[in-house]
Structures are given as structure tokens and as C-alpha cells.
């Protein structure tokens, strides 16, 4: 697989690369990250290799990430329509302004106009709600976004880091009213963070939303820098060392990587690329060599044995009722029969005296 082996995002007509270039590292405003020059090199390399999906947010490096991308595209106007350019709204860049962020109509309009200005474009391909506000009516947010779609300023709508129940409610409201649908989710998802498998991923698959995982290397923990044998402090945006439980998973990833002769990061990314519902993985890098290493994951194929081992060692404890439904429901429903490839068992308490009545 390569960057130009494009995938369809959810139940939509939007096609994008299997790896999306995440740009939270563009700009040094937060004390770490890539210079504008290095960011432009990463952008250029990504596009040259056939990549077409770029992800940013109004808040990344206080707007500088958007400005770097905008400067890159303004200097190369022929690229704009070939790319799927995505940004996010919600985060407030203006101190003490209660309407400077969030999902209200006033906030959406001003955030979008500011992002369009920084990006040097007149439309956004995929506009993401970046977080959740329980106070703002979902109808207000959805209608405001639909108005921007009708005005030609955005093309598609996505939700990032929003609870499953609120996303499902919003998707249903959009369908009822004929507003622009939610076509995709961004969720934190990796071998070290799989709890989205409880509610968010099943919801996305059932409602036709593509899934775009962020932090696929869990802040560098799955990059190969760590193991239980060597836990010396290294540069990490997470600001802490991995826990003992995380090191068990990290060691398993490192073992598969050693067996295959590839970097650990590529094993972690290849595992994620093969998970049900995943469309495109959002990958960031501060250096060009990190970026190129991550792209190499597209050439790595894990065996079923490798996948099974990684699945087992990283299996999450899911919130109720997801764990109960996964373990118990097939047996309650099918009583020993195998349906759709899923075996079930006979529960003795239900069937020991089933012929009595």
C-alpha cells in the first residue's frame, strides 16, 4: 500500500490517503515542534509521495500551524484543489472572550473565517468539531455548519473527541433535518488506548462514519524508544514515562518489530491500519526522518499470529455494558451456535433444566 492508495471516508464521496499528515507539530510556538522551514519540507515530501490529506486545527501552535500550511499552498496554488484540507474549531484563542471558542453559531462563524484567512483559502474540505460542549444545543451547531456548507465555505463535517451518545444524537438530528451529515470521527486510538472500541467505534461503523485515529503512537511510547529493559527518560510530549502495564504492550510491539526487522513504530501503525472501521491514521512528526519512518508502516504486513498476540496483550477493559455485551450476549442469544463466524457457548444455568416445562 502507498499514500496514493486512497480510501473512501465513511458514507461519503470523499477520498483520502490511508495516512493523514497531522500538523500539531508545525511551528515552535509551544516550545517544541518543527520550524516553518522543516514543516514545509515535510508537507512537500508528503504531497510528492501522493499524500492528499492534511489535518490541522485553529489552536495548533496558536494558529501558526494553519499559517504554515497556508503559506505553503499560496506558493503552490495548483495543489489546493488536489488536497483534502481539514481543520478544527472549538478552542478559544482570545482570553476572556466567552464567544471566542466552542460550537455556538457566533463562535463557529468567526473561527471559520479566521482559519480561512490563515490557510489562505476560501473553503475547508473537512471541518471538525474539536471537543464537546453539553450546553450548546446540537441543533444550533449542526445548522450553523450546514449553513457554511451551503455557502461553499466547508465541504464536509466531522466530530473529534465527542462522546458517542452526543455524536449519535447529532447524526440522527442531521439526518432528520436534511443537514450535512457527520461523515467521520477523530478518536484517540492505539495499542495503548483502545477504550474507544466500547462505544465510539461501533457507533461509527453502524452510522457510516469513517474513523481517523490520532496519537497512534501514544505520544511516542510505541515508537521504539522505550522497553522494560531501558526506561531512561527520553523526549516525549506526554511528559511522563510509561507505566508497568504499558511496558508490557510496548515490549510485545518491540518483539514483533525485532522479528520482522522493522521499527516498532511501523508495527504499531500497521496494527492500527488493520483495525475495523479505521479509514486514515493521523500521523505527526517533528523531523523528516520520523515522518519517513512512519510512512514505512504502509509497507508492513502483520501475520495473523502477530495480530492475535498484539490484540491479546493490549486488550482493554471496556466500560459497561460493552464488555458484558461482547462476552455474554452471543451465548445468551445463540446458545452454542456459531453465527457470522462468532462462536457461542451453552450457558448451563439456562439449559440444565430447559426440558422441564
Pairing of strands 19-22, 15-16: unpaired
**Residues 84/19, Cβ–Cβ less than 8 Å:** no
Instruction: Tell me whether the omega of the peptide bond preceding residue 321 falls within 30 degrees of 0, making it cis.
Output: yes
d(CA 124, CA 155): 6
d(CA 91, CA 107): 10
C-alpha torsion sign, points 327, 331, 333, 334: positive
Q: Half-sphere exposure of 217 toward its Cβ, with a 13 Å CA cutoff?
A: 29
Closest CA to 53 of 25, 16, 7: 16
114 phi, psi to nearest 5 deg = -65, -40
Q: Half-sphere exposure of 196 toward its Cβ, with a 13 Å CA cutoff?
A: 28
Catalytic: 60?
yes
**Residues 139/173, Cβ–Cβ less than 8 Å:** yes
Q: Which of 60, 127, 189, 226 is catalytic?
A: 60
d(CA 125, CA 123): 7
Q: Could you list the active site residues?
A: 60
Amino acid at each position: 500500500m502507498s499514500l496514493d492508495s486512497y480510501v473512501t471516508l465513511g458514507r461519503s464521496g470523499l477520498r483520502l490517503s490511508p495516512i493523514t499528515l497531522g500538523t500539531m507539530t508545525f511551528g515552535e510556538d509551544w516550545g517544541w515542534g518543527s520550524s516553518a522551514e522543516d514543516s514545509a519540507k515535510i508537507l512537500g515530501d508528503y504531497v510528492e509521495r501522493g499524500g492528499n490529506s492534511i489535518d490541522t486545527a485553529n489552536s495548533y501552535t496558536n494558529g501558526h500551524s494553519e499559517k504554515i500550511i497556508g503559506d505553503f499552498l499560496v506558493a503552490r496554488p495548483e495543489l489546493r484543489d488536489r488536497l483534502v484540507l481539514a481543520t478544527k474549531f472549538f478552542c478559544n484563542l482570545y482570553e476572556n472572550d466567552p464567544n471566542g471558542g466552542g460550537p455556538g453559531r457566533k463562535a463557529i462563524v468567526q473561527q471559520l473565517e479566521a482559519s480561512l484567512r490563515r490557510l489562505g483559502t476560501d473553503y475547508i474540505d473537512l471541518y471538525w468539531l474539536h471537543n464537546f460542549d453539553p450546553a450548546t444545543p446540537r441543533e444550533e451547531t449542526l445548522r450553523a455548519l450546514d449553513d457554511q456548507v451551503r455557502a461553499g465555505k466547508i465541504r464536509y463535517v466531522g466530530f473529534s473527541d465527542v462522546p458517542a451518545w452526543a455524536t449519535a444524537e447529532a447524526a440522527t438530528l442531521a439526518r432528520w433535518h436534511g443537514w450535512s451529515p457527520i461523515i467521520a470521527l477523530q478518536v484517540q486510538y492505539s495499542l495503548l488506548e483502545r477504550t474507544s472500541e466500547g462505544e465510539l467505534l461501533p457507533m461509527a461503523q453502524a452510522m457510516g462514519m469513517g474513523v481517523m485515529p490520532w496519537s497512534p503512537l501514544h505520544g511516542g511510547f510505541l515508537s521504539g524508544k522505550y522497553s522494560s529493559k531501558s526506561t531512561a527518560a527520553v523526549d516525549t510530549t506526554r511528559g511522563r514515562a510509561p507505566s508497568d502495564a504499558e511496558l508490557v504492550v510496548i515490549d510485545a510491539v518491540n518483539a514483533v518489530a525485532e522479528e520482522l526487522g522493522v521499527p516498532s513504530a511501523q508495527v504499531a501503525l500497521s496494527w492500527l491500519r488493520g483495525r475495523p472501521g479505521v479509514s486514515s491514521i493521523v500521523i505527526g512528526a517533528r523531523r523528516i526522518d520520523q515522518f519517513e519512518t512512519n510512512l514505512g508502516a504502509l509497507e508492513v504486513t502483520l501475520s495473523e499470529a502477530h495480530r492475535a498476540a498484539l490484540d491479546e496483550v493490549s486488550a482493554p477493559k471496556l466500560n459497561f455494558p460493552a464488555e458484558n455485551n461482547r462476552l455474554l450476549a452471543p451465548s445468551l442469544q445463540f446458545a452454542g451456535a456459531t453465527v457470522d463466524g462468532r462462536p457461542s457457548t451453552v450457558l448451563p444455568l439456562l439449559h440444565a433444566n430447559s426440558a422441564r416445562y
